[in-house]
Structure 1
């Protein structure tokens, strides 16, 4: 989620003051919390459960600061949109590495059926789901990735 070199590139492309991390499995894992905070260097990091996230995200939007909102799962973002959370009109998807039961759709993009359903739900809420590992990489949109997934039987 927060990788030093990747964060350096993204923070140059889109200035940021802090990072909001949402995910129950992250919020309840002390080691992951420590690693994320260490990886963020000087940036402030808030780590929240899905239940606590709507209020924290709204506070971030209302502030004059810029935040990256990140998670390790598209299902988390799908839950947020289902709960009426407005986190913007674009969701950038970074690396999703190969795991059992996934289909490889491109460099660093492997998704399973649950990921597919989550991305579809997010897109159906009017959010442009974009796959882009680094700022200079070509953006691939969900419609393209969905078609590729659907063609792989």
Structure 2
């Protein structure tokens, strides 16, 4: 099973719905986000954004962990989407066999970019974010930056 986690503030959008779905030959997109899981309008919008190529589910983070640890999911290729490093870390700490954490777009939405460290052209972090990314790295889970599948992944191990 593929349980790749992607951190992307936009969650499901064109790059995910089409490029990543095709590249990873996904069976399912699993959005793990407490706020969105409890907002019917956002849930409906994200499911629609996923299109008809793949089944999309939006659940709270604790429920995503239960789903990802259920052996019945082992035959599926799943992309787990979160919009922040805290949720990615929590999932990594509580789910076995996470092959990697992929970072797409993060750091533009909350807070001023000018007050954050620029890691790449679409990745901006504050001190708290840096600490969380270090914890993911400490779990020996590869952490990489890659906007779209055609880009070469950049290892983030030494960036924080």
TM-score by length of 2: 0.81
Q: What are structure 2's unaligned runs of at least 5 residues?
A: 1-10
How big is the shift at 1:87? 4.9
Matched, 1:115 2:125: no
Distance 2:145 2:133 in 1: 11
Q: Which has the higher contact order (CA 8 A, sep 6+)?
A: 2
Q: What are structure 1's unaligned runs of at least 5 residues?
A: 147-153
Partner SS for 1:52: helix
Please name the residue that 1:138 is paired with: 152
Matched residue count: 145
**4+ aligned runs moved over 4 Å, structure 1:** none
Distance verdict in 2 for CA 1:69–1:109, change over 3 Å: same
Distance verdict in 2 for CA 1:5–1:51, change over 3 Å: closer
TM-score by length of 1: 0.84
Whether the aligned pair in 1 keeps the contact of 2:31 and 2:56 (CA below 8 Å) is yes
Partner SS for 1:89: coil
Distance 2:157 2:48 in 1: 36
